[in-house]
Amino acid sequence: MNSFAGKVAVVTGAGSGIGQALAVELARAGAKLAISDVDIDGLADTERRLKAIGAPVKADHLDVTEREAFLAYADEVKEHFGAVNQIYNNAGIGYAGDIQVARFKDIERVMDVNFWGVVNGTKAFLPHLIASGDGHVINVSSVFGLFSLPGQAAYNSAKFAVRGFTEALRQEMMLAEHPVKVTAVHPGGIKTAIARNAIMADGIDADEVAANFDKQFARTSPQRAAQLILNAVHKDKARVLVGPDAKLLDLVVRVTGSGYQRMFTSFLKLSARKPAALHGTAGTG
Per-residue contact string for residues 135-174; x = within reach of ligand NAD by CB under 6 A:
-----x-x--------------------------------
Q: Which of residues 41-70 bind ligand NAD (CB under 6 A)?
A: 42, 62-65
Report the residue from 84, 169, 194, 201 that binds ligand NAD according to the rule CB under 6 A. Answer: 194
Q: Where in 246-275 is the site for ligand NAD (CB under 6 A)? A: none
CB of 118 to ligand NAD, least distance (A): 8
Q: Which one is catalytic: 73, 88, 155, 260?
A: 155
The answer to whether 88 is a known catalytic residue is no
Segment interacting with ligand NAD, rule: CB under 6 A, options 69-77, 79-87, 91-99, 120-128:
91-99
Q: For residues 150 and 278, give the distance between their C-alpha atoms in angstroms, rounded to a whole number.
A: 9
User: Would you say 62 and 73 are in contact if contact means Cβ atoms under 8 Å apart?
Assistant: yes
Q: Which of 193, 201, 249, 268 binds ligand NAD (CB under 6 A)?
A: 193
Which residue in 31, 190, 240, 278 binds ligand NAD (CB under 6 A)? Answer: 190
Among 156, 192, 212, 281, the residue binding ligand NAD under the rule CB under 6 A is 192
Residues 14-33 that bind ligand NAD (CB under 6 A): 15-19
Region from 86-94, 127-135, 163-171, 264-272 binding ligand NAD, contact rule CB under 6 A: 86-94
Nearer to ligand NAD (CB atom), residue 135 or residue 283? 283
Confirm or reject binding of residue 280 to ligand NAD (CB under 6 A). Answer: no
CB of 223 to ligand NAD, least distance (A): 12
Q: What is the dihedral of CA 38, 44, 48, 53, to 10 degrees?
A: 10
- Complete DSSP assignment for the chain: --SSTT-EEEESSTTSHHHHHHHHHHHHTT-EEEEEES-HHHHHHHHHHHHHHT--EEEEE--TT-HHHHHHHHHHHHHHHS---EEEE-----EE--TTT--HHHHHHHHIIIIIHHHHHHHHHHHHHHHHTSEEEEEE--GGGTS--TT-HHHHHHHHHHHHHHHHHHHHHHHTT-SEEEEEEEE-SBSSSHHHH-EE-TT--HHHHHHHIIIII--B-HHHHHHHHHHHHHTT-SEEEESHHHHHHHHHHHHHGGGHHHHHHHHHHHTT--HHHHHHHHTT-
Active site residues: 155
Residues lying near ligand NAD in the complex (CB under 6 A) are found at 12-13, 15-19, 37-39, 42, 62-65, 90-93, 113-114, 140, 142, 187, 189-190, 192-194, 197, 218, 284-285
